[in-house]
A and B are shown apart, each in its own frame.
Chain A
Amino acid sequence: MLCYHCGAVLNDRSFCPNCGTDVSTYKKIIYTSNYYYNEGLQKAQVRDLSGAINALRQSIRFNKNNVEARNLLGLVYFEMGEAVAAISEWVISSNITTDDNLAIQYLEFIQKNQSRVESINQTIKKYNQALTYCYQGSLDLAVIQLKKVLSMNPKFVRAHQLLALLYLHDRQLTRATRELNKCRAIDVNNTTTLRYLREVELESDPETATTEPRHEDEIEQDGIIKYRNGNETIIQPAGAKNPSLDGSGLTGTILNILIGALVGAAVIGFLVLPARVQSVRRDSAEQIRVISEESDEKTSRIAQKDREIEELGEQIETLQNQLTAAGSQGPGEALDGAAAIYIEDPERIGEVAEIMAEMDPAEMETVSSDGFLSLYNALYKLARPSLLTKYYTAGMDAYNAESPDYAEAAKNLSLALRNSFSDSEEYLPILYYLSSSNYRMYVNANEAGRNELAKDLARARYYLTILSQQYPDSEYASGAEDLLDEIRALNIDLDAIDISSETGLPAGESLPAGTEAETTQGNGEAATEEGAAAEGQAAEAQPAETQAAETQPAPAETTEAAQGAAEGTAN
């Protein structure tokens, strides 16, 4: 310590050893400065930077040449982000003394890191810009700018505090708390920080926030309230009531509930209900489809049952008819009746023939009894001549009538031919007149009728050929030749008509070989030779047929004979 008067080094005494000046008060001032320095140092050691600044500033106010206090004050400033203030203190300190002065080291460190200085300068400029935004009311821009500042210099306490103040103003308490906590990490006992934290606590405590905070710049005039909220100017009627604070809270709540119910109903009506209706319709359509399918299936079953019922009805009707026929007069009874008539009086063979003519040949096929067939064949053998006579007489009467009925004549003569024998007396006249009847029917018929009668004409030519070839000496041979010439003159292709299966001849007669030869070759001489050969065959076949007729006939022959009798009955 030096004497302020002469600059001599002072000792423990209250007077200067060189000039004798009283330095007791001066020493107290220096000691006070040192005291504050010590206090500042202690506070800086516990990161009470604000308290350290106050103490160090007091120390410098007592002794401006307290280099340690200036250096520490600069260091605290630098820690708090106040780089320019720190540099100022260090510059002043370095001007006081250069001997063992830490300020010189600090300044050298900064001068070596120009980029660091530039970064600090940019940080300060941005902070000042953010502060300008705050003054202008652009708080959002200020927040953005402050965030940039803190990203560059996280220890800038004033920037943290300003950002926390903006958050508090915007009621973002969490963010404000976060910023203030960062401040406390740098400066634990900063008055501003603590005051802001207290404010955050008050805002966070609902019990303390019992009244609506009013805006500081709120102006009420002419029935309106006008205030600023950030960048916005809010204007609302002065009479507007806060439903949560005034007496209309319950009414407002009920009104809100009603509005909510209406909105819910509208949502259900416009969104939920149509979907539900569509779902129900879809289900109904599916049910209808299932029911329709079941109905169709049942309808099909009913139709099938109806068909079965109809078929069963037909079967019942058929069975009933058979039963009725069997009950009235079956073939067995008719045959029994005919047999009874013949046994009683053999001369009444004509009546037997009538009964047998009425018997249905189809019924004969259903009867498989050997006794029945034997009885039938025996009676038919007895009745056959009577049937021949009957049909021959009727046919000739129709043919020889004043107005010949060739159709009737042809029918009866056909039946007579069926029941005749080749050695019967009526056999040749039947062949001739039947052929003549068929020919005249054909000639007298129109175009359509001729088509239907073509087979009869072919059959007539067949009969005439038999007469011409097998019986050349008979009285009918020449007439047969004449008719054949007339048939040939018609220029009809009768060879295309197959009558081999229905010649109409009695059982045992066959197609003459000469007929085929004539139709194929068209040579009369050859046909005559072939016909002579066929005559021999027919002569040989005739006894066989006669023998077959006289003995037990085969069922097929029996049926054919029965058909002939039945056709006669129908006519």
Chain B
Amino acid sequence: MLNFEEELKKYHPSLEVEDATDAIYNQDFVDMADVLVKMVRDNVNPKSGNAAAMPKL
């Protein structure tokens, strides 16, 4: 049996056209390639980076 209230929580407002710009800028553009590049650079020059600077997946 569906729980209507819980099911309703799964629905979110759709982005309107005016909000498209914000949605684009707020999008997470870090991909696996970026992670790999970062890891490689950290291995080559461990002092130049730290874990906190690592982009969030």
Contacts and interface: CB of A to CB of B under 8 A. Distances in A.
B14 A158 contact: yes
A437 B47 CA distance: 196
B7 A4 contact: no
Contact of A84 (B2, B7, B17): B17
A22 to B, nearest CB: 8
B53 interface: no
A131 B2 CA distance: 18
Given A25-B36, A29-B32, A88 B17 contact: no
B5 A196 contact: no
B8 interface: yes
A392 B36 CA distance: 189
A373 interface: no
Interface in B7-27: 7-8, 10-20, 23-24, 27
A60 interface: yes
A84 B32 contact: no
Interface string A26-38: 1001101100000
Given A30-B33, A62-B33, A64-B33, A125 B16 contact: yes
Given A165-B2, A165-B4, A199-B2, A85 B15 contact: yes
Interface in B26-44: 27, 29-34, 36-37, 40
B28 to A, nearest CB: 9
A91 interface: yes
B17 A87 contact: yes
B52 interface: no
Interface stretch (A116-124, A404-412, A480-488): A116-124
A128 B14 contact: yes
A213 B1 contact: yes
A387 interface: no
Contacts, number: 101
A199 B19 CA distance: 35
A4 B36 contact: yes
A316 interface: no
A569 interface: no
A207 interface: no
B50 interface: no
A63 B23 CA distance: 19
Contact of A162 (B11, B33, B37): B11
Interface residues of A, number: 48
B3 interface: yes
Given A64-B31, A64-B33, A91 B24 contact: yes
Contact of A134 (B8, B24, B27, B32): B8
Contacts of B30: 64
Contact of B20 (A29, A60, A88, A195): A88
Given A29-B36, A84-B23, A135 B8 contact: yes
Interface string A1-26: 00011000000000000000110011
Interface in A267-288: none
Contacts of B14: 82, 84, 124, 127-128, 158
B32 A62 contact: yes
A168 interface: yes
A26 B20 contact: no
A92 interface: yes
Contacts of A497: none
Contacts of B29: 64
Given A4-B36, A135-B8, 16 more contacts: A26-B37, A29-B33, A64-B33, A65-B31, A82-B14, A84-B17, A87-B20, A88-B27, A117-B17, A131-B11, A161-B11, A165-B8, A169-B2, A195-B2, A213-B1, A216-B3
6 contacts: A21-B40, A22-B40, A29-B33, A29-B36, A30-B33, A61-B32
Interface of A: 4-5, 21-22, 25-26, 29-30, 32-33, 60-65, 82-85, 87-88, 91-92, 117, 120-121, 124-125, 127-128, 131, 134-135, 158, 161-162, 165, 168-169, 192, 195-196, 199, 202, 213, 216-217
